[in-house]
Amino acid sequence: MAITHNLGFPRIGAKRQLKFALESYWKGQSSIEDLKAVGSQLRAQHWEDQTGLDLVPVGDFAFYDQMLDMSFTLGNLPERVRGLAGDALDTYFRVARGRSAPAVEEQAGCTCGVAAGEMTKWFDTNYHYIVPELTADTRFELDASRLLEQLAEAKAQGVRAKPVVIGPVTYLALGKTKDGSDPLALLERLLPVYAELLNTLAEHGADWVQIDEPILVTELDEPWRHAFEIAYHELKSAPVKLLLATYFGELQEQRYLAANLPVAGLHIDVVRGREDLVPLLNLLPSSKILSLGVIDGRNIWKTDLNAVLEWLEPIQAQLGERLWIAPSCSLLHVPVDLDSEQRLDAEIQSWLAFARQKLDELRILAGALNQGRHTVQAELAANRAAIAARRSSPRVNNPAVKAALAKIDARLGERNSPYAERAAKQAERLQLPKFPTTTIGSFPQTAEIRQTRRQFKAGDIDEAAYVEAMRGEIARCVREQEALGLDVFVHGEPERNDMVEYFGEQLDGYAFSQFGWVQSYGSRCVKPPILFGDISRPKAMTVDWITYAQSLTDKPMKGMLTGPVTILNWSFVRDDQPRSATCRQLALAIREEVLDLEQAGVRVIQIDEAALREGLPLRKSQWEDYLGWAIESFRITANGVADETQIHTHMCYSEFNDIIAAIADMDADAITIETSRSDMELLDVFDDFKYPNEIGPGVYDIHSPNIPAEEQMVELMRKAAERIPAERLWVNPDCGLKTRQWSEVIPALTNMVSAAKTLRASL
């Protein structure tokens, strides 16, 4: 009998109930009891959704983040929140958000809040966790209350509970020591708390415990590998059976280590780590359970169940009772329920599976393995038909796109002349002053703008009215920029809801869900568009807006586009061809837009690649491959233009140390980046690399409502000029201004323009 289980379920709720409950509590509109009640209801609902599985995760629910939950379980609270008044959950929110609910802050006699914990990406997902804060003095102390409470609820509901915790090595590896000490030095102090936790769970009836160690799919130094040996030898006497769970990639050189740790079972991700399977079958001691993550927990496509059974049945014959099956990783990274969708195209919907549907797939696989394929014949036939339909659909396959892709050659990504020659021609054409000023694209997205977009979507206003309203906004942006005296203008992006969705909606090959939300952090969710087919551009997407904006001014108006790598990384993408092929298709489509803009007389074109860095693979050994096709895609997009056309790119982060060569290889005439908070030191890497083109290091932190002073920005630019020759520097904010108010933007940009003038005068 193959055992079925799940590693984790999305906690946000099919209709984002948790988000709304959290935000209402944070605004002081509901009580902590109300919030906790929503938590219990969601857990109950999600366990019910998992009915029929042999083991169901408990402890995967978190009010904000599972890593933060783990820090609380281990008693690792930052000093600054200890001893504050209020419910334990308020303390938890203080770490998560830097404040709790307003009412609670007042009770505690402070309105200022405390610094929020740092947040960072969970492996290569778009989920963000709160980084455990560690120092050489960190002490741990068990607080199993949260887990025990959920375990008791699950038992009362008759759930076959499998508690889920983050393993000690991954916990330390993802933590950050504030004092530069070695986090591994804390292992010895940490393990007794884990042992106590496992004992406690056993006392409360847990038989199996899932212990997540995804760090095993990354490159590990010897001390970290050794830490696994130490940790699991110490925990092996715990009176529970441990299922060591890895996911998001291949174990590769960690196979032997993972196979031989003294635990009762090992879970591997065979969607991403299929290569591990055969070697592991040989390495795994004959007493151990092998759990295979056969259903993709990172994407939204139906699994080809018949194909999985083809290779899984022989493995079942070999492993017998020792085979478990599950999704590849926690379902946290996919939306909850496809059945909520009412407006999705029926054909495309028939190719998809969200969390609930993925568990149905698991049940079908178990039926086939345990009772024979004939018992699930109808389901398997339906699945086969859906897979075949998707594969052969003319909506997925566009021969013209495939032909264009086959014709890509190196020439396509080359400018006609090297940067120095282009720069001279561009200078001649654009006639910009030294330290030219510009902004990154968006101006404030006011309530009126959002309402107008909503009305247009709902059909309450017609296209003519919508275009007129947006043109009005564009005209306002142009007027303001004239008054400010900026040098290179933007149209302000009022017509864009989101920098990826806006383009997805206009490209063939994209679909959009209504409820396909995935948690990004805390109460924040994203709804990635679904890239299902070959990508093509039926018609120009931005040219009308940009040429209208340009018609209002003599200053150069930037054409504003999102680059192919960012569109790829922020979408659910097809799994039937390599990501590189999908990225090149996007590149060809956006290239057409670039050329149309140029044709329409646009002199400067910015292609945003905000998500280039976050697409980096987990293993450094795979970076070269990723950067190879990612940069090639950017070059295809950008480099078809004449020398006189100036290409900009923008990235909203400042860590370039390990990718500077690739960034230089993009060969954009100018790059704008985020640097205001790092005091320009992050330009050192551009300096050391002798980065040859122009740079606009952000001088104004757009995340903050503070108005930056002129002197402060002059000072930052002086520091920049110590690293980059002044004639190659631009003056601009860190990122787009859409989340700011006009009342903040005007004085900030006024000061920024004055700063540029001061700098010019001092040359």
Contacts to Zn ion by CB under 5 A? 652, 735
Output the residue with the shortest Cβ distance to ligand GLN: 736
Q: Is 608 annotated as a binding residue?
A: yes
Strands (E), 480-591: 508-511, 518-521, 524-526, 530-536, 558-562
Residue 417 annotated as binding? no
Q: How far is the CB of 657 from ligand GLN (least distance, A)?
A: 20
What does the H/E/C string look like for 720-755? HHCCCCHHHECECCCCCCCCCCHHHHHHHHHHHHHH
Is 652 one of the annotated binding-site residues? yes
**Between the CA of residue 730 and those of 422, 488, 704, 720, what are the distances in Å?**
17, 10, 21, 10
90 labeled part of a ligand binding site: no
Q: Write down the least CB distance from residue 658 to ligand GLN, Å.
A: 20
Tokens of 124: 């290569």
Cα–Cα distance, 52 to 30 (Å, whole number): 35
Q: What is the DSSP letter of 120?
A: E
| Whether the Cβ atoms of residue 454 and residue 445 lie closer than 8 Å to each other | no
Residue number, 161 or 604, with CB nearest to ligand GLN = 604
Contact 487, 431 (CB under 8 A): no
Choose the one of ligand GLN, Zn ion, none that binds residue 560, judging by a C-beta under 5 to 8 angstroms depending on kind: ligand GLN
Identify the sign of the CA torsion 11, 15, 17, 18.
positive
Q: Least distance to ligand GLN from the beta carbon of 496, Å? A: 8
Residues contributing to the site for ligand GLN (CB under 6 A): 440-442, 493, 499, 560, 608, 610, 650, 652, 735-736, 738
Q: Which is nearer to ligand GLN, 133 or 493 (CB)?
A: 493
Q: Which CB, 30 or 442, lies closer to ligand GLN? A: 442
Active-site residue, 703 included: yes
614 is in an annotated binding site: yes
Beta-bridge partner residues of 180? none
Closest CA to 364 of 348, 350, 375, 352: 375
* 733 interface partner picked from Zn ion, ligand GLN, none, CB below 5 to 8 A per type: none
The least CB distance from residue 422 to Zn ion, in Å, is 24
Residue 524 marked as a ligand binder: yes
Shortest Å distance, C-beta 490 to ligand GLN: 7
Q: How far is the CB of 120 from ligand GLN (least distance, A)?
A: 17
Taking the C-alpha atoms of residue 416 and residue 93, their distance in angstroms, rounded to an integer, is 55
Strand pairing partners for 293? 269, 326
Q: Taking the CA of residue 729 as centre, how many other CA atoms within 13 Å lie in the half-sphere pointing to its CB?
A: 26
By a kind-dependent CB cut-off of 5 to 8 A, residue 353 interacts, out of Zn ion, ligand GLN, none, with none
Is 711 flagged in the annotation as binding?
no
560 or 567, CB closer to ligand GLN?
A: 560
Cα gap 423→462, rounded to integer Å = 44
Binding site annotation covers 570?
yes
By CB atoms closer than 10 A (0-12, 13-18, 19+), residue 181 is middle
Nearer to Zn ion, 96 or 652 (CB): 652
For ligand GLN, the closer CB: 235 or 735: 735
Annotate 542-573 with three-state secondary structure. Answer: CHHHHHHHHHCCCCCEEEEEECHHHHHHCCEC
Q: Which amino acid is at 405?
A: L
Residues with Cβ within 8 Å of residue 113, at least 6 apart in sequence: 94, 98, 99, 100, 105
Tokens representing 220 are: 């590990």
CB nearer Zn ion, residue 652 or residue 717: 652
Q: Is 121 annotated as a binding residue?
A: yes
Name the residue with the smallest CB distance to Zn ion: 652
Least distance to ligand GLN, CB of residue 566, Å: 8
The residue from 46, 333, 491, 703 that is catalytic is 703
Residues annotated catalytic, as ranges: 703
Q: Which residues are annotated as a binding site for 5-methyltetrahydropteroyltri-L-glutamate?
A: 121, 524-525, 570, 614
Q: Which residues are annotated as a binding site for L-methionine?
A: 440-442, 493, 608
Q: Which residues are annotated as a binding site?
A: 121, 440-442, 493, 524-525, 570, 608, 614, 650, 652, 674, 735
